[in-house]
């Protein structure tokens, strides 16, 4: 489960990953302790999340099931005209095993523990910065046995 912790003081967001089902059974809007993430003394408020298929959680839907609701303005949909509504699939407000990402904001800070050191921001790797086309070209050239040419293609495509 990925957990995105947003610090409102400095405007930064940090991502933590855990194999444990830490927040299962909690609901959107609940305040939880962040001791399991290595942040003793910190508390966070759950603001949302998404399931394994990418459907967002919705506060108005009780439980953890995925349902199609008729909405005028929900996460994943914004109206372009007045009165426009659409049927969208959303997940309930309770965290279950199907949830893959949980979003939260920090509500209580422990001054003894620095959040930036515990949940360090990880930059993109070189592979993630490449476009899909660049990755395919590099992979095919590496399979052909010329990794140097693959690196040269990337440099040429950037300029």
pLDDT of residue 38: 84
- The reply to whether 152 and 108 lie within a common domain is no
* Total-model pTM: 0.71
Question: For 152, phi and psi rounded to 5 degrees?
Answer: -65, -35
The domain total for the chain is: 2
- Give me 104's structure tokens: 């939260």
**108 and 130 belong to one structural domain:** no
Kindly report the length of the chain: 159
Q: Which residue segment(s) compose the domain that 130 sits in?
A: 124-159
85 shares a domain with 15: yes
77 and 118 assigned to the same domain: yes
Whether residue 78 sits in one domain with residue 41: yes
Same domain for 99 and 143?
no
Q: Give pairs for 47-53: CB < 8 Å, separation 24+.
A: 47/103, 47/104, 47/105, 48/75, 48/102, 48/103, 49/91, 49/95, 49/99, 49/100, 49/101, 49/102, 49/103, 50/91, 50/99, 50/100, 50/101, 51/91, 51/98, 51/99, 51/100, 52/98, 52/99, 52/100
Are 107 and 129 contained in the same domain? Answer: no
What is the chain's pLDDT, residue by residue, as a tens digit (159 residues)?
A: 889 999 888 888 888 888 888 899 999 999 999 888 888 989 999 999 999 998 999 988 899 999 998 888 776 677 888 888 888 889 999 999 999 999 999 999 888 888 888 887 655 556 666 788 888 888 888 887 765 655 665 555 555
| 131 and 94 in a common domain | no
Cα–Cα distance measured from residue 23 to residue 4, given in angstroms and rounded to the nearest whole number = 13
* 86-91 and 12-17 strand pairing: unpaired
């Amino acid at each position: 489960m990925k957990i995105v912790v947003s610090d409102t003081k400095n405007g930064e967001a940090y991502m933590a990953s855990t194999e444990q089902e830490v927040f299962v059974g909690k609901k959107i809007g609940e305040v939880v302790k962040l001791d399991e993430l290595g942040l003793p003394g910190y508390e966070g408020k759950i603001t949302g999340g998404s399931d394994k298929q990418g459907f967002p959680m919705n506060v108005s839907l009780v439980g953890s099931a995925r349902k199609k609701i008729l909405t005028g303005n929900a996460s994943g949909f914004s109206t372009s005209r007045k009165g426009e509504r659409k049927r969208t699939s959303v997940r309930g407000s309770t965290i279950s095993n199907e949830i893959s990402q949980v979003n939260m904001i920090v509500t209580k800070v422990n001054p003894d523990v620095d959040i930036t050191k515990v949940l360090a921001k990880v930059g993109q790797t070189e592979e993630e910065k490449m476009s899909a086309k660049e990755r395919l070209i590099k992979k095919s050239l590496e399979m052909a046995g010329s990794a140097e040419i693959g690196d040269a293609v990337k440099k040429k495509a950037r300029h």
